[in-house]
Amino acid sequence: MNIVLASASPRRRELLSMLGVKDFQIIPALGEETAEPGLSPEALVCALSLAKAQEVASKCSETALVLAADTIVVLDGQIMGKPANKKDALRMLSALSGRAHTVFTGVTVMRNGETRTEFEQTQVRFRTMTEREIVAYIDTGEPMDKAGAYGAQGIGALFVEGIEGDFFNVMGLPLCRLSKMLEKLGVNLI
């Protein structure tokens, strides 16, 4: 089966490989990540993952299984995407310090004209961080391409006190949900 990952995310690529999916193409969606203003976090990640999947599916055969995802961090109703620069990363991490937030990921799978879009949400609780720790973490470069400016699977794990829900959702691809969605399309990963 031809599987196409509509993402340049090394984490999503790593997670698919971890599941034993060996032969998949990577065709990142190139369109602007924009959606209607005022959408709930759930609706936003679903709309963005669907737009990515549709863009990439238009370049593939109908029999290809296209997988797209979009992840955001939400704190006090404010959406945090990827930081624009180090100052933005400092703002985000300072706001997350000592607090709980929610990670939302929208997932879309398309195959043979059938489309499924769902979302997952996970609560993450950070310990209180010093400004020195935040600056040192930003200087590693790890936060710069991640929603909320941290990677729970990397150095950012030092700040995570607890997770309630799917850990892999925090990495950008909720594997349990993905597996159920694929089963509905007749694709079993095991």
Residues marked active site are found at: 70
Contacts 24+ apart (CB under 8 A), 54-58: 54/110, 55/6, 55/29, 55/30, 55/31, 56/4, 56/6, 56/27, 56/28, 56/29, 57/4, 57/6, 57/110
Rounded to whole angstroms, the Cα distance separating 55 from 143 reads 27
Bridging pattern class, strands 78-80 and 65-75: antiparallel
Rounded to whole angstroms, the Cα distance separating 67 from 109 reads 5
148 sits in the region (left: phi over 0; alpha: psi -120 to 50; else beta) called left
First and final C-alpha spacing in the chain: 14
Q: What does the angle CA 173 – CA 174 – CA 175 come to, to the nearest 5 degrees? A: 100
Q: Side chain identity at 86, as an amino acid letter? A: K
SS3 for 186? coil
